[in-house]
Amino acid sequence: MTTITRNPAPPSVDPDLLAAFRDVATATISDCLDRMPVLSGLRAFHRRGRLLGTAFTVRVRAGDNLAIHQALEEVRRGDVIVVDGGDDTSRALVGDIMKAIAESRGVAGFVIDGAVRDSDAFADADFPCYARAATPRGPFKTGPGAINVPVCVGGWTVNPGDVVVGDADGVVTFAPDIATPLIEAVRAQAARETEVLALIRAGRYDGRYARVAKA
């Protein structure tokens, strides 16, 4: 008998709190959190568009997507399906059909520590999808798996209910209870970087400002 461990969905993050991060660069968020909360090794497969939402986590057996199908039955609008696929890229965990299901249910995007397929369908769309690789080889559908448990994606632990932000650089996550002080730090950092750019354009920049710049 296939076992999918199912836990209750985490509380959704306050929409106003999420909205504060809508235009914030992932690089700035990472800088303000000691450059730590980055989901390494993932890249964007979609055409354009930012990712922002609440983590709905899934852990699967390598190459098996049964638990993701179950998650699509339980996910809420605004959730990001975050999948711990164990870095395995031998089989695709999601493709065009699962993308269509997710979009129809208001899912904010996919973050897959594994492979996808039907990459042209993602490339032609604005539905956010981050993954490690693409392969035409399809998945197993036998389990086991777990839903709404802590997962490891790209070397970083993502907990159910974490805030997920993605842009062209990649994906970062953080606990919602630090969102308020974090957005204050992010705004201060952005202001400092704006000042540095103004100094550069004015020909007045020197090495004293190096610590302020992202790169």
pLDDT digits (tens, 9 = 90+) for 137-152: 999 999 999 999 999 9
Question: What is the pLDDT at residue 212?
Answer: 55
Tokens 């800088």 belong to residue: 31
37 contacts 172 by C-beta, under 8 angstroms: yes
pLDDT single digits (tens) 123-138: 999 999 999 999 999 9
Instruction: Domains for the chain: give ranges and CATH numbers.
Output: 4-205 (3.50.30.40)
Identify the three-state secondary structure at position 93: strand
**Single pTM value for the model:** 0.93
- Say how far apart CA 124 and CA 48 lie, in whole Å: 9
List residues forming the annotated binding site for Mg(2+).
118
Eight-class DSSP state of 49: -
List residues forming the annotated binding site.
95-98, 117-118
List residues forming the annotated binding site for substrate.
95-98, 117
Through-space distance between the first and last CA atoms of the chain, rounded to whole angstroms:
52
187 contacts 208 by C-beta, under 8 angstroms: no
Question: What is the pLDDT at residue 152?
Answer: 97
pLDDT single digits (tens) 15-47: 999 999 999 999 999 999 998 889 999 999 999
Q: Angle of helix 66-74 relative to helix 96-104, nearest 10 degrees? A: 20
- Say how far apart CA 129 and CA 118 lie, in whole Å: 12
